[in-house]
Amino acid sequence: AQTVTQSQPEMSVQEAETVTLSCTYDTSENNYYLFWYKQPPSRQMILVIRQEAYKQQNATENRFSVNFQKAAKSFSLKISDSQLGDTAMYFCAFSEYGNKLVFGAGTILRVKS
Amino acid sequence: DTGVSQDPRHKITKRGQNVTFRCDPISEHNRLYWYRQTLGQGPEFLTYFQNEAQLEKSRLLSDRFSAERPKGSFSTLEIQRTEQGDSAMYLCASSLVLQGFNEQYFGPGTRLTVT
What is the tens place of the pLDDT at every residue in B71-97? 889 999 999 999 999 999 999 999 998
- The residues that bridge with B66 in the sheet, in sequence order, are B78
- The residues that bridge with A3 in the sheet, in sequence order, are A26
| Chain B residue with minimum CA distance to A90 | B42
Mean pLDDT of chain A: 94
Query: What is the Cα–Cα distance from A89 to A104, expressed in whole angstroms?
Result: 11
**In this complex, do B48 and A100 lie within 8 Å of one another by their Cβ atoms?**
yes
Predicted local confidence at residue B102, as pLDDT: 77
Instruction: Judge contact between B77 and B23, C-beta under 8 A.
Output: yes
Give contacts of B42 with chain A, Cβ < 8 Å: 4, 91, 93, 103-106
Q: Choose, out of A44, A55, A61, A95, the residue to mutate when testing the contact with B (most B CBs < 10 Å).
A: A44
Sorting pLDDT into bands at 50, 70 and 90, what band is B62? confident
Percent above pLDDT 70 for chain A: 99
Predicted local confidence at residue A8, as pLDDT: 96
Instruction: Judge contact between A64 and A77, C-beta under 8 A.
Output: yes
Q: Cα Rg for chain A, rounded, in angstroms? A: 13
Give contacts of A98 with chain B, Cβ < 8 Å: 97, 100-102
**In this complex, do A105 and B45 lie within 8 Å of one another by their Cβ atoms?**
no
**In this complex, do A101 and B104 lie within 8 Å of one another by their Cβ atoms?**
yes
**In this complex, do B42 and A93 lie within 8 Å of one another by their Cβ atoms?**
yes
In angstroms, the separation between the Cα of residue A61 and the nearest Cα of chain B is 15
Quick: pLDDT tens for A9-48: 999 999 999 999 999 999 998 889 999 999 998 888 999 9
Sorting pLDDT into bands at 50, 70 and 90, what band is B99? low
What is the rounded average pLDDT of the residues A61-73?
96
Instruction: Judge contact between A15 and A21, C-beta under 8 A.
Output: no
Q: Choose, out of B29, B47, B56, B104, the residue to mutate when testing the contact with A (most A CBs < 10 Å).
A: B104
Q: In which element (H, E) is residue B104 found?
A: none
What is the rounded average pLDDT of the residues B20-39?
95
DSSP chain A: --EEE---SEEEEETTS-EEE--EEE-S-SS-EEEEEEE-TTS--EEEEEEETT--SPPEETTEEEEEETTTTEEEEEE-S--GGG-EEEEEEEESTT-SEEE---EEEEEE-
- The residues that bridge with A37 in the sheet, in sequence order, are A47, A91
Query: What is the Cα–Cα distance from B54 to B24, expressed in whole angstroms?
Result: 16
Mean pLDDT of chain B: 93
| Chain B residue with minimum CA distance to A41 | B108
Query: What is the Cα–Cα distance from B54 to B51, expressed in whole angstroms?
Result: 8
